[in-house]
Structure 1
């Protein structure tokens, strides 16, 4: 069965100041002493096995979670019981923001691979943010980014055809991986094609046709989950008339 396991705090306590994704996460731009104060809120990291839920819709808000290793998908269930994927999160990104307004999570967050998160107790985080304007500023930026992400998603659904949506998705993922020091042209999709289709509002067969179209245009080669972008500028040109790549 999928599981969540706490790492022993004595040996594996998370230290924001030494984390490899610190510059992409909540401590961005904070001073050393400020990061140390934030560090005290992270008692221990959590390992989340592939397929395990970090939290589910309806769970009470206890913590926000900074992804340290691995990747997640967020999703909701439609009225007829189908899964609707709402996003994919990779290291340096936050999970749990959906619960701030109601104190209840509105979606499920499931690990796409064996992953690791840093839980930050939300009530304590709010208290610390009151004392540290830089931390409050970062929280506001993260929340604003979520609003922009939703806006971009609506624009993509309304203005892009299926090939353009797929191109925008791959380009966005490419850019996010590059920011984290990974290759922007050779990477592995951690999500299934059905999950990509759900996120983009496309059927599986449409995703498969889109992959073939991008291959025929010599833009991208996808084999299984292995992606090789052959023409990065070509991908950008494909969607340049529509909108900037959405934040996934």
Structure 2
């Protein structure tokens, strides 16, 4: 892992609207810039942190993709999430002061290090930051509930459709296409996250291709019929976008 002690100016970062609250004053932004002063580069396949590591910081993804995973009692890795630029990693460590999962880079990545004790102290000084941290935590809870719904009540094609829609919507919020994406994770990792066997993931991708819903070339995916995916996830939506 390569750590760079280079000053990071949140005020000039093009992702600030995604991972920082709006409405901070110039003085508050200056204080935040002082706290978030380190960038860390993580090579593809390397761990940003591992389960059991002491919790000291949150990490804002500046570039690249990560997966978080836990290891089951029998030694199998279970993927618990995928994180991209503008999202925060590391909140799993808050409750016990140590990380309960591992965060692995799926491609060369870079994060901004947010020392939690200093961030917590600063959040008490101005409520806008405190409120934003609470929103981030709430969003993670909602996301976990969404995954539980996927695993508990949806068929294979519904799970994969919901996954693709969620991924492309998150990417679109970062300025990318609404219908095209590059999968940074393997099909095996998708299956682990969605509770599906690799063969089922591949068979479902093939079905979507055969029905003209998507086009796939290696890791490139072109969603040709967004409405068909939405109807799979929510048959009552009549093609309305999922929230």
Deviation, structure 1 residue 245: 5.9
Match 1:197 to one of 159, 166, 191: 191
Deviation, structure 1 residue 27: 3.4
Deviation, structure 1 residue 83: 0.6
| Paired residue secondary structure (1:228) | strand
Say if 2:70 is the partner of 1:87: no
Which residues of 2 match residues 15-94 of structure 1 at below 5 A? 15-94=9-88
CA contact (8 A) 2:5 2:37 kept: no
**Aligned counterpart, 1:143:** 137
Which residues of 2 match residues 1-248 of structure 1 at below 5 A? 4-9=1-6, 13-241=7-235
Runs of 5+ unmatched residues, structure 1: none
Tell me the alpha carbon deviations over residues 152-196 of structure 1, each in whole angstroms, 9 at most, x when there is no partner.
111111121001100100000000010000112111100111000
- Tell which deviates more after alignment, 96-105 or 34-43: 34-43
Whole-angstrom distance in 2 between the partners of 1:209 and 1:100: 39
Question: TM-score under structure 1 normalisation?
Answer: 0.93
Whole-angstrom distance in 2 between the partners of 1:84 and 1:245: 26
Tell me the alpha carbon deviations over residues 10-45 of structure 1, each in whole angstroms, 9 at most, x when there is no partner.
xxx211111111111033443333222111112221
Whole-angstrom distance in 2 between the partners of 1:28 and 1:208: 41
| Residues 178 and 207 of structure 1: CA distance in aligned 2, closer, same or farther (over 3 Å) | same
Counting matched residue pairs gives 240
Structure 1 runs (4+) greater than 4 angstroms displaced: 242-246
Tell me the alpha carbon deviations over residues 193-244 of structure 1, each in whole angstroms, 9 at most, x when there is no partner.
1000000000000000100111122111122111110011221111114898
CA contact (8 A) 1:66 1:118 kept: yes
Deviation, structure 1 residue 62: 0.8
| Residues 14 and 205 of structure 1: CA distance in aligned 2, closer, same or farther (over 3 Å) | same
CA RMSD after TM alignment: 1.6
Tell me the alpha carbon deviations over residues 110-164 of structure 1, each in whole angstroms, 9 at most, x when there is no partner.
1000000000100011100111100000000000001101111111111210011
Whole-angstrom distance in 2 between the partners of 1:39 and 1:219: 45
Whole-angstrom distance in 2 between the partners of 1:203 and 1:121: 38
CA contact (8 A) 2:19 2:88 kept: yes
| Paired residue secondary structure (1:40) | helix
Runs of 5+ unmatched residues, structure 2: none
Question: TM-score under structure 2 normalisation?
Answer: 0.95
CA contact (8 A) 1:169 1:245 kept: no
CA contact (8 A) 1:45 1:117 kept: yes
